[in-house]
Structure 1
Amino acid sequence: MSPSTTLVLLHLLLLVSLASGDFYGGSVSFTPRDRNADGTYMVDFRYRNIDDSCNFASWDCCSGNCGYSVNNERGQIAHSTRERSDQHNQWCETETIQTRKIPSNRPFQMIQSNPGSWFLETKVDLGTRSDTGVANRSPVTATLPRIRVPQNCQRSYNLMAFDPDDDRVRCRYGLARPECDSCNQPLGFYLDQGSCSLQYGNGSMTDVYRFEVVVEDFPKQLITLSYNDGSSSSRAEITTTPSPTTTTEAPTTTTPPPACPIPWIDESPLQTSLSRLPLQFTVQVDLEAPTCDEGVYLPRFVNPTPRHGQRIQAEVNKELEIRVKAEATNSVVDAVIVSGPVSLTNHRTTEGEFVIRWSPTHQHLGQYFPFCFLIEGLSGSRVYQSELRCVLVEVGPRNVRAEVVCDENQMTVEVERSSIPEIDEKHLRLSDSCNTACDLQRYSNSTHIIGVIPLNACGTQIEEDDENLIFKNEITSFDNVSDIITRNNEVDIKFYCEYAKHGKVSLSFNAHRESVSVMEKGFGTFTYHFEFYQTSEFTQMVDPHDYPIDVEVDKMIYMEIRATSTAISAELFVESCRAAPFDTPNYSPTYHIIENGCTVDRTVRIFPPLNEKSFRFGMEAFKFIGVYDHVYISCSVILCEAGNPNTRCAQGCSSNDHESDDSHQRHKREAAIQTGKHHISQGPLRLRKNSESSVTNLNKNTVLMAGSIVAAVSMLCGVMFYKLKSSKVKYQPVPTSDFL
């Protein structure tokens, strides 16, 4: 057999191994825990395994005393959502969290007892460091299970490599068994050892390539490692040139893993790394993309996606939230691929954001956790990936102590005063605190700051995905009640209630909306009333007990918005009105009725007002109502100083909402000539079915609830939620008519 034939055969054997094998990579990290009274050590190991069938890895000791396992927790992190176009196997990432009892802090070596040819050699040194006074800790590493790159696109993949002891971390290819098996360094790729960045230059053959990377940490100065048997060793900052980049051929047969032939302490002990960890994964080179510009076929990350390497602070028993979003003009953003702790979850909102959540517990306190993610876009049968980003989450103690209870129509949040001792509720507010019902002083007591927040008021925002409705608000601190912003934002407590949707089951927002009372400087306390009327005479108001109101398409409906105020010379202006299934300002989709003071629906009729503080209008009932179980009419209104030509009220219908807002905000700061915009709503309306002979009120529908709250003090990075408890809900049977 000729040498060229042998080379081709070896290459084919490598490809068969990747295509038909079960294992695609993995990683290891370890964290020392407390030393036991008997002198033994407890160490947590995190083994990540990537294969095609969600198997869990097992490990063997091959050098030194590795102790024994006292606890194992296993779970699935992520799995592929579609079959690869060129292979029948799918990938699945699992994690095993193993606590081992180690008799000594002397170095030892472990290897994965995998039947394949991926060894994942791990070398551990738990010696007490002279610079920190505690046991040595390993670097924190991570990447994603499967990375894809178009053949013609240059890419740089920054692997997560952080060291909690502030050591210098380097990444290199494995040089010999058991650091690696094939020990190949694929052509077209370059591994920057200092930055742990894998760079693809373009031009490689379309294929799946395996990477067997070794992650090592070196101190930044000379240190001593002390062991409990009285011995010690020294480590110095790495000064030698990087390891040579040699290439070896793949073996023609599969051999069992070697029994740790590489000694732990080599001929130059000062240059020996503190730890050696495996970081093994695959990269699939796909066919060429029409263009390599991000945002066309390759998804491009946009706000609020965190930047690569960002440090995010999490707290024990709080739910961490990371939001990721990407855009592409010629592919459809399809999914987020994420790797992190085993209990993370992710879902996609109707606004196109992916929300990654994780709830750290007390056992995670003081540890660091990498989260790596990318976005996939689809164009026909082609899959395109965004850049790879990783963030680092540090788990600290719980700061603000609070809980939230979710009821059918409101959220109740209670914050322990002792957890924010220097903040008074007079300097705390909700997202929109103009409504007097949103005043945090109203329900607070000597031990707790309490807010009772309606789901449709106080600036509550709604977020939706395929399965849930999420109502969100926040409590923030401020310096002066008149300030729009604050430079000393000491407290930011974000909270939400999550309601599960099941089929046509909806929330029981079927009650008549009460009047909204507001207090603003220069206008005192005033109240907005929003009512439906039977006729254009506006003499007979629809009885609040008759809600939801049944309407017929093309039949007129009549509405009045009225303000009562102690200010004699005031006038009302309706800036916008919309219809939506829920009466929260940001809900989408909506049906526009009035925008920027201009009528949008062609059937809108304006009727003479009762006085300057009222607005009467009517319109034909629209088919938008029939798309949902029920809808609300929500309006944005302003009260102005009557007769003043500088107010928004005097401007009337305007085609440029932003300019008018900026102009009148400046006038508002100079003197109290108009209020801010206030959100009011009424409803619901329900499309009357032809088969209905009588009007029946909707009964309360069954909902499932989960409450969560978030707290951030000073300038903590990221957004942190933690789940608390749900109130018990009284359920009623849903009438059959609600499902017609």
Structure 2
Amino acid sequence: MVEDFSSKNITLTYRDGTSAVRTGSDANAAPLCSVKLQFVIEVLQAASCGTLPMFLSRTPSRGDILHAAVGKAFHLVAEAKATSQITDFQVSGPLNMNKSVTLGAQAQLSLNWTPQSSDLYRFVPVCFTADTLNNTQSEMRCVVVMVTSASTVQGNATVQCSPNKMVIILEKASMPGIDVNFLQLIDPSCSLSSNDTHIMGAMSFSTCGTELEDKGDNMVFKNRINSFVQPNEVIVRRRNIKIDFSCEFPKTISISSYYNLHNSDYIFTESSFGSFGYAFDIYRDNNFTNKVEHSAYPVQVMLMDMIYMGIQANSELPNVTLFVESCKATPDDNPNNAVSYDLIKNGCVKDETLKRYPSNQTSYNFEVQAFKFTGNFDQVYITCSVILCEPNNPFSRCAQGCLNEPFRRRKRALSKETSGHYIIQGPLQFVRPAAPIMTEDMLEPEMKRMDVPAAVKPPAAASESRPDLRSETRSGSQGSGAMVVLSSNLTTAVFATAFVVSLVLLALVVRHYSRKRTGEDRKVLIQEDAQT
């Protein structure tokens, strides 16, 4: 039973013209109305343990905010697939929302709804699931439909997707009053640029707060442009802006594999600097020409090895200066990890093994000796904060160089520099040096040095009758690892046997000479007694 009680003082007027005063504090008052609730529970057969239905890329993501206008048809499409037949979609939404389905192993749900004036400014939740013939059910996917007036501005935007970046272009004419100075991406350190007709933003799939979502058949990279207000603004006359954009790619690799891929070049767009990017690479030597291929990541190194790294800036402007403000190491790809180690801080070198190599004004090449974090860590990531500046400007961060205290950034118009952008490199994975393998060639000189009798040395015939073991031990890479291990075990056993036998022989010799010396001593004593 659902019962209604007033929380305020009210006056009730009845059909016969009488009235009564109801106080909100009257806990003993009768309910204003009562509504009975009735349920029907259907008990189905036990569901088989199989793969659950999965929503595909056309389906809105969980928690998405969709927009509908009063008096205009709102349309939502969801797709799902399953190993068995999809028999229906269960939907929860407004009473006047219509549902149509196309069923099969890959099924489609279409929802149509026309909001009324009473729905204006409502946030309407819509949830749906997919049912199968095997009585299995997909996750419950819920979105929110925000109802606005028909006069809501629908801006024109274009998204360009490439293998390592996405670019969004907004048409200013379609969004009157839009101001690029009050727009930001998910990561506010990434800014947008503009000209007389368009607002533009460019970013790689691993920067500017770009999020990755698995949509069953596709991988989706998503970001968002939001408007914001300054802390000291009391009123605003700008429109609120929220533009979601994304790039979708067929899912040819798993999510776990994606995170092991080497980061692509970092691309940014910023007012006064246009589009610019950074490449952060590992090199094989201090010539900084031979890069480690992306297929070789994670890069395996040993402690005390020298690691050669280089940062390269690429800008549309012909004359800019690159400045590396900080570089720090962490045991994972989270630059805010509490476990960290500073290589460069506030423009100052902090690690005594770090050495910078001469380069041009848009490159920063350096070497550092390999290290690892104490504890159960076997990987290291390097995150650097980089800035582009106008050269020969005494007010820029680039001109300040090494500072003992954090730099207080001046106004952009004065300093003419970009924001500090974070770029990450890694992982560097540490490996231990392989244990040396004792071969027969190494064993024979050792046995000769110990003067082991020929009887305990491995017979030549035995060695000649097993040329496969000798050749496998020498060539190593030409045969299987199992043969190398077998040869190693054989030579180790021979060496151990020879060592034990040599000890026994040595003990026998010592005992023999001891007995002989004792006999001679007795003979001398007897002779001396006789003379006495």
Q: TM-score higher than 0.5 here?
A: no
Q: TM-score scaled to structure 2, two decimals?
A: 0.44
| Structure 1 or 2: more strand by fraction | 1
Report which of the two structures shows the higher radius of gyration computed on alpha carbons: 2
Q: TM-score scaled to structure 1, two decimals?
A: 0.33
